[in-house]
Chains A and B, each alone.
Chain A
Amino acid sequence: MNEPGHEQQSAPGKPGEVETTGHVWDGDLREYNNPLPRWWLWSFYATVVFSLIYWLLYPAWPIAGTYTKGVAWINYEVEGEPQRSHWNSRALLLRDMQTGDAAVRQREFLQVIAEADHDTVLSDTDMLAFVNSYARGIFGDFCAACHQTGGAGIIGLYPNLADDNWHWGGTIQAIEQTITRGRMGYMPPYRETFDDQQADAVAAYVLSLAGHEGGDPEQVSLGGAIFQGYEGGCYACHGREGLGLKSQGAPNLTNDIWQNIDVTGAQSHAERQALVRDLILRGVQREMPAFGDRLSPAEIRVLATYVHQLGGGL
């Protein structure tokens, strides 16, 4: 390989000819000199100037155990006391939460709703519109994975919130409690207690409570005795008339609305009876998680109002 040689740097003479750097390799290999376009060069200088200003304003250069904090400041409040910090995303968030337009408007609405009584909220169209749009968002984030997007739930797993049948109560207060503290729906399994005949009988009685004709009258009366007696003890939770007990989350068995088994979808009386019998034998244990630590009381109020409205009822 030849050592690179030198020539005079050449300026373009004729049009179409390009300036070279003057370096020559292998005798005739020359390097074009294409200067950067002006706009590019000046943009580059501008970014340099920009970074100088940036370093001045914002946290930038590390020095020993700390760093230059910059001269841009953010003002916010902690418990009413004004505070100042160098610019950073956490302080920025605090300021945004405290004085940002959207945050302030949202907080004002939430506060009004938290302080108003339930009937006022339900009859005020402005408040209701806010409740519905805000709650739809948080219902999607926190509840829909179980109760499904429209609140219809999944039979056997998560209760339907869009009807007016409530295990724990459908008033806004009761729903607030459900959300804040969570609920543990529990009915003991009767596998060890009942033999086949008894289980069939109780199932027949439960179906008769819900108005399903076609059960064997003998079974129904035997079932009734077990339901109301010491052996079954069902009345302790579901009540003498089978109307349920909200403090236990025990459902009303007379309204033919079923959360755990698809009785109304079954084709024959025998199929319905089998569904109820199996449920009694295996019992129920379902958990609704507590959201008191995750959502603020105002958010829970908004959610409870929204959920109450889905189906109404008490």
Chain B
Amino acid sequence: MKHETIETNAGLLIALTLVVISIGGLVEIVPLFYIDDTVEEVEGVRPYTPLELRGRDLYVREGCYTCHSQMIRPFRDEMLRYGHYSLAAESMYDHPFQWGSKRTGPDLARVGGKYSNDWHVRHLIDPRAVVPESIMPGYPWLARRDLRYDDIERRMRALRIAGVPYSLTEEEFAANVERFGEETARQLDITRARENLEAQARRGNYDGDPSRITEMDAMVAYLQMLGTLVDFTRYDEGYFVEFR
């Protein structure tokens, strides 16, 4: 085809331009749907419990991701500071994932268990009360507002459509028992979502106020489980290299 034919035919020019610029994207993205060894086979990764799921939604609502990444890269300095590098498997149930690359604050991929619940509550209400140098904004309303969870089933159903194994039917529940064990499977049962959420909030008492379930309960429950699902002592150093 001659240069001139394309140049003098606007429709053809647009079509061919689209073809050319989509090649780059297709080559990068499409193979990921077919290459089967990008997601590591590890024990322990499970979808969020209903309370953690609400916490994650609040994390997204408040825009925490604008300052915090959840992706520890495989570099020595990052391992020393944050712990084992993040695995693809660890965010396989995240829609959307919270990897990010903007780090005004530290990476949060393994913040679970690093601090006490009490610290998180104080820090989220007023970061400078515990970290005088902090430039993080306060989120005091999380402690004041009751958590809304009358729509928790709908949130879980939506994720189920996206492929997260929350169960609705007996068969799905049985499959989850097989895959995650009885206790976890019960947490993933959409029909029990409300009682599970209430029970976890009562048991955990994350915000220090057992009389009600606040948004703070959900947020702290979420933060305290981040990066804690995989037991890295069970895998030798070379294992995760096999998935690259």
B131: Cβ under 8 A from any A Cβ: yes
- In this assembly, does B95 line the interface, its C-beta being within 8 Å of a C-beta of chain A? no
Give the residues in chain B near A145, CB-CB below 8 Å. Answer: 115, 119, 123, 130-131
Please indicate the chain B residues that have their CB under 8 angstroms from the CB of A138 in the complex. 80
Residues in A whose Cβ lies below 8 Å from that of B74: 89-90, 92-93
Q: Which of B34, B80, B114, B130 contacts A289 (CB 8 A)?
A: B114
A64 with B236: in contact, given A89-B244, A97-B76 (CB under 8 Å)? no
Name the residue among A90, A103, A154 with the largest chain B CB count within 10 angstroms.
A90
The answer on a CB contact under 8 Å between A289 and B116 is yes
Choice from B8, B83, B131, B243 contacting A294 with Cβ under 8 Å: B83
How many A residues touch the partner, as a band? 35 or more
Q: Which of B79-130 contact A (CB under 8 A)?
A: 79-81, 83, 85, 113-116, 118-119, 122-123, 130
Give the nearest-CB partner of A93 in chain B: B74
Number of chain B residues whose Cβ lies closer than 8 Å to a Cβ of chain A: 39
Write the chain A residue with the least CB distance to B38.
A67
Residues of A within 8 A of B (CB): 4, 23, 59, 62, 64-67, 76, 78-79, 83, 85, 88-94, 96-97, 100, 102-103, 137-138, 141-142, 144-146, 148-149, 154, 157, 286-290, 293-294
Q: What string of 1s and 0s marks CB contacts (under 8 Å) between B1-44 and chain A?
A: 00010011000000000000000000100110011110000000
Chain A's nearest CB lies how many Å from the CB of B4? 7
9 A-B pairs with the lowest CB-CB distances in the bound complex, closest first: A62-B31, A78-B238, A88-B244, A93-B74, A287-B116, A90-B241, A91-B241, A89-B74, A90-B244
Known: A66-B35, A294-B114. A96 touches B81 (CB 8 A): no
Decide if the interface of chain A is mainly helix, strand, loop or mixed.
Answer: mixed
Assuming the contacts A66-B35, A90-B74, A90-B85, asked whether A79 and B114 have C-beta atoms less than 8 A apart, the reply is: no
- Asked, given contacts A78-B238, A93-B75, A94-B238, whether A142 binds B31 with beta carbons under 8 Å apart, the answer is no
CB distance from B80 to the nearest CB of A (A): 8
Does B170 touch A at the CB level, under 8 Å? no
A76-B238, A90-B240, A142-B114 in contact; A62/B130 too (CB < 8 A)?
A: no
Taken together as a complex, chains A and B put the C-alpha atoms of A157 and B121 apart, in Å, by: 13
